[in-house]
Amino acid sequence: MMGREVSSEKNKIDKEIFIIKVIVLIILVVSFILLTIYLVLAPKIDLKKNKEISITYPNVYKEPGYKAKSLFSDLTKKVKVKGKVNSKKIGNYKITYTVKNFLFTTVTTRMVSIVDKEKPQIVLKGHEETDVCPNAKYQEEGYEVTDNYDKDLKDKVKVKITDNEIIYTVKDSSGNEAKVIRKLIYQDKIKPNLQLKGSANLNLTAGATYLESGYTAIDNCDGDIWGNVKILGTVNPNKIGTYTLTYTVKDHAGNESTVTRKVSVSAPRKTNSGCGVLGAIYLTFDDGPNASSTAQILNVLKEEGVKATFFVTNAGPDALIKRAYDEGHTIGLHTASHKYNVVYASVNNYFNDLNSVASRVKRITGYDSKFIRFPGGSSNTVSRKYSPGIMTRLASEVVNRGYKYYDWNVDSNDAGACANSKSSSCVYNTTVKYLSKNKCNMVLMHDIKSYTADALRDVIRYGKQNGYIFKQIDSSTPIVSQGINN
């Protein structure tokens, strides 16, 4: 009995072992089959280049590519790519590559970093080595900061000031740092700017009063040092000759500037009633411009091909002065205000008035006119009422300052006798009556008179028909004076 039971137990164990072996065998067979299926069907993704790529801004990321396959098949076209790289924005980007083949799915990733490794650029205005006035505070000249990624970083700049230098530093959003140093050199090597007012070469009529035109002296460190200017030399206006005046000025650093002015005293100029070209007619117009009559006169002159001279005031439209200048006429200076009590009250008053109208002409035309006509002419006597002897002083001083003045020897009387009748025939008859082939005809007219404008064409045609030529005042035209009476 015992033997039988032992044998039965042994058989049972053997049977269980057999069953286990069978199960293991089945598992191994199934595993082998599944592995074989996996090896045959499971996809594999190979990324070209690295799985981690760093791109330096502003370079653009381009997909390096990939391949996908199973043991017997190319699956590249089945790969799905998820994720984008913004090459214009610094950061880390994840790209996922997925491919399926039957029941098998393979996923791999690539990390792309857009990085900025370029330093910002700091550009100093002025110089990196800058002279600073002794005992003065450096005035920041400024700077510009640019970055390839962050663009303008000017507000991020840190400025550190030491005794002899200024250190500018800035970091961009990626931590790239730039530094520039401006060296400060405390010294003054620049001479003062010493300039003469008026001309450096003056002509003075013997017996006239020499009036110093003045000067300016500005120093880069000391500012206005006009009061430090010293003048060496004198002018004897009663003795004919050439005198040299030397102007010198020093700043606190010892830098010195020097300029000279030559004053030539000559014999009084004889009265000149001519103007150089016999048989020439110089049409000159005072007191304008006037919106209506000056425009009409310019039209006639253009149609007749004649050039003239306009002695202008501060009245009337700018456009007509510009038109006259652009059409080739000479622009002279008459007066800003035409108020005798103002203009002839003093030499300073006269030049203040003259400078006003000169500035107007320069502003409109860009031309610095040196041709003038005194209100009432140089021979006027009304100026005695306001300042005895002023015309004698002015006639000399305007020449000293580089101007030439012009009276007239033919008066159209459009501001005199003809003004009562306002007759164009009166202007015409009066003008042609005093024209002569034996002199240069400097004709006084006023372009603010409508009847003068109406007479102009007939005057011009009379001149053409009778062999006269028409000229305008220019740098070759001598001064025309009727003689000084005050």
Q: Which of 202, 232, 266 is the last residue of a domain?
A: 266
Domains held by the chain: number: 4
* 345-374 confidence digits (pLDDT tens): 999 999 999 999 999 999 999 999 999 999
Q: Say if residue 6's pLDDT is above 80.
A: no
On average, the pLDDT of the chain sits at 90
More confident residue, 426 or 3: 426
Please report whether residue 144 resides in a domain: yes
Residues 265-270 have a mean pLDDT of 64
Residue 479 has pLDDT above 50, yes or no: yes
Residue 300 sits in the same domain as residue 360:
yes
Per-residue pLDDT tens digits for 61-100:
999 999 998 888 898 999 999 999 999 999 999 999 999 9
Task: For residues 422 and 337, state if they share a domain.
Answer: yes
CA–CA dist 286, 44 (Å, integer): 101
How sure is the predictor about 481, in pLDDT bands with cuts at 50, 70 and 90?
confident
DSSP line for 255-274: -EEEEEEEEEEEPPPPP---
Mean pLDDT across the stretch 149-155? 89
Place of tokens 């790209």: 95
pLDDT at 475 over 90: no
290 and 257 together in one domain? no
The answer on 168 and 210 residing in a single domain is no
Looking at the structure, tell me whether residues 336 and 453 fall in a common domain: yes
Specify the pLDDT at position 376.
94
Q: Could you tell me the pLDDT band of residue 271, with boundaries at 50, 70 and 90?
A: very low
In this structure, the answer to whether residues 148 and 59 fall within a common structural domain is no
272-276, 313-317, 365-369, 407-411: least confidently modelled range: 272-276
- Please report the pLDDT score of residue 272 as a whole number: 46
- Dihedral, 203, 206, 211, 213 alpha carbons, nearest 10: 0
Instruction: Tell me, yes or no, whether 478 lies in a domain.
Output: no
* pLDDT classification of 170: cutoffs 50, 70, 90: very high
Same structural domain, 342 and 244:
no
**CA 411 – CA 434 distance, rounded (Å):** 8
**Single residue among 87, 115, 143 that ends a domain in this structure:** 115
213 and 240 in one domain?
yes
Question: Which pTM was predicted?
Answer: 0.49
Shared domain check, 147 and 73 = no
Residue 238 sits in a domain whose CATH number is 2.60.40.10
Question: How many Å apart are CA 7 and CA 4, to the nearest integer?
Answer: 5
Q: What own/partner pairs with CB < 8 Å and gap ≥ 24 does 125-129 have?
A: 126/182, 127/182, 128/180, 128/181, 128/182, 128/183, 129/182, 129/183, 129/185
Placement of tokens 């205005």 in the chain = 125
Q: For residues 255 and 316, state if they share a domain.
A: no
Q: Which of 115, 132, 161 is the last residue of a domain?
A: 115
- CATH number of the domain bearing residue 453: 3.20.20.370
Residue 335 has a pLDDT of 96
Confidence of residue 270 (pLDDT cuts 50, 70, 90): very low
pLDDT of residue 39: 61
Q: What percent of the chain has pLDDT over 90?
A: 68
Mean pLDDT for 330-357 is 95
- Binning pLDDT at 50, 70 and 90, where does residue 3 land? low
The CATH number for 165's domain is 2.60.40
Closest CA to 73 of 46, 96, 44, 93: 44
Residue 336 lies in a domain: yes
Q: What is the pLDDT of residue 184?
A: 93
What's the pLDDT tens digit per position in 46-58? 999 899 999 999 9
pLDDT score at 464? 92
Rounded Cα gap, residues 89 and 57, in angstroms: 8
> Tell me, what's the pLDDT at 5?
65
In a domain, 318, yes or no: yes
Cβ atoms of residues 445 and 285 within 8 Å? yes
- What pLDDT sits at residue 208? 66
Residue 265: band (very low, low, confident or very high) from pLDDT cuts 50, 70, 90: confident
Before 388, cis peptide (omega within 30)?
Answer: no
Residues 406 and 455 in one domain: yes
Residue 23 domain-assigned? no
- Is residue 125 located within the same domain as residue 51? no
User: Poorest-confidence range of 226-240, 255-269, 310-324, 393-407?
Assistant: 255-269
Expressed as residue numbers, the domain containing 73 is 44-115
The answer on pLDDT for 393 being more than 70 is: yes
pLDDT at 176: 94
